[in-house]
Amino acid sequence: MYARGILFGKMVLELGDTCIAKNDKHGLYCDLEFKTKGFFSGVYNALAGRVRKNSSDVGEVMGRWSHVMEIKNHKTGQRRVLFDAVKDGQNISPKWVPSESEQEPNESRRLWAGLTEAIISKDMERATVAKTAVEDAQREQRRQREDTGEVYVPRFFEKVDGRWVPKIKLPKDRQEATLAVQEWIFPSTTSSSTNTSLPPSPIP
């Protein structure tokens, strides 16, 4: 994450990094690069990537993740819209999560609430302080575990054959699977309610 316009102009937070998206079942991989805007050319929120099937290139991804992304088939040369954030972004399902006061201290929305508020208010100094406070606290927790020899055990995931997988086996019945996930993540809220058909109120 990069901040532009600190000294002059409009403050803009920009994403610049690389990642790999994998589909092991079909042997598909996509090497993605989130590009930052140049000083004299380019656009914000650009991305580019190549799609591989096993070791062969089969396509390209290009565009802007905040606008329109396209995919090009290497074999046919045809391009099609992969995702239109402006058009399809309006149809995103609302988040269904408990309010921050009901979340655990280390859940993201609650943990990073101060940073989020600072970014929304465009107060970069306060955002830096909030971010540093969280990271310093996490470093201190890690140091204390190292001093005591405590081994951190993830609550929801475990490593199986080199891959991190959820510590849950879902029933085939859809309603039972929904209940199982709710009980797995929110045991206190699920056990106190007999109505499992209604999720919590939406949080924007």
Tokens of residue 38, six digits: 């140049």
The pLDDT, as a whole number, for residue 36 is 84
Q: How many CB atoms lie within 10 A of CB 59?
A: 20
Q: For residue 141, is it left (φ>0), alpha (ψ between -120 and 50) or beta? A: alpha
Whether residue 96 lies inside any domain: the answer is no
The CA distance from 59 to 46, in Å, is: 17
Q: 47: closest CA among 57, 39, 59, 36?
A: 36
Contacts for 196 with CB less than 8 Å, ≥ 6 apart: 175, 178, 179, 182, 190
**Domain-located, residue 98:** no
User: Is residue 97 in some structural domain?
Assistant: no
Q: Distance (Å, rounded) from C-alpha 75 to C-alpha 157? A: 39
Residues 190 and 136 placed together within one structural domain of the fold: no
Domain tally, the chain: 3
- Do 199 and 133 sit in the same domain of this protein? no
Residues 132 and 175 placed together within one structural domain of the fold: no
pLDDT score, position 8:
53
Residues 18 and 76 in one domain: yes
The answer to whether position 71 is within a domain reads: yes
- CATH at 57: 2.40.160.120
Neighbours of 130 (CB within 10 A): 19
pLDDT at 121: 93
pLDDT of residue 202: 43
**Domain contains 86:** yes
Six token digits for residue 179 = 């209940």
Q: Are residues 80 and 120 in the same domain?
A: no
159: which strand partners? 164
Among 148, 169, 184, the domain boundary falls at 148
61 & 141 share domain: no
Tens digits of pLDDT across the chain (204 residues): 555 555 555 666 778 889 999 988 888 999 999 988 877 777 888 999 999 998 889 999 999 988 999 999 988 999 999 989 888 877 777 777 788 888 888 889 999 999 999 999 989 899 999 999 999 999 999 999 999 999 989 989 999 998 899 999 999 999 999 899 888 887 765 444 444 444 444 444
For residue 140, is it within any domain?
A: yes
Model pLDDT, residue 87: 84
Are residues 107 and 122 located together in one domain of the fold? yes
Return the residue matching tokens 């690389």. Answer: 18
Domain, as residue range, for 119:
103-148
- Round to whole Å and give the CA distance between 41 and 188: 53
Rounded CA-CA distance 37/21 in Å is 23
50/111 same-domain check? no
Q: Same structural domain for residues 166 and 133?
A: no
Regarding whether 122 and 157 lie in a shared domain, the answer is no
Asked if residue 76 and residue 28 are part of one domain, the reply reads yes
My answer on whether 69 and 117 are in the same domain is no
**Residue 92: per-residue pLDDT:** 73
Q: How far is CA 190 from CA 17, 98, 195, 202, 204, in A?
A: 39, 12, 9, 17, 22
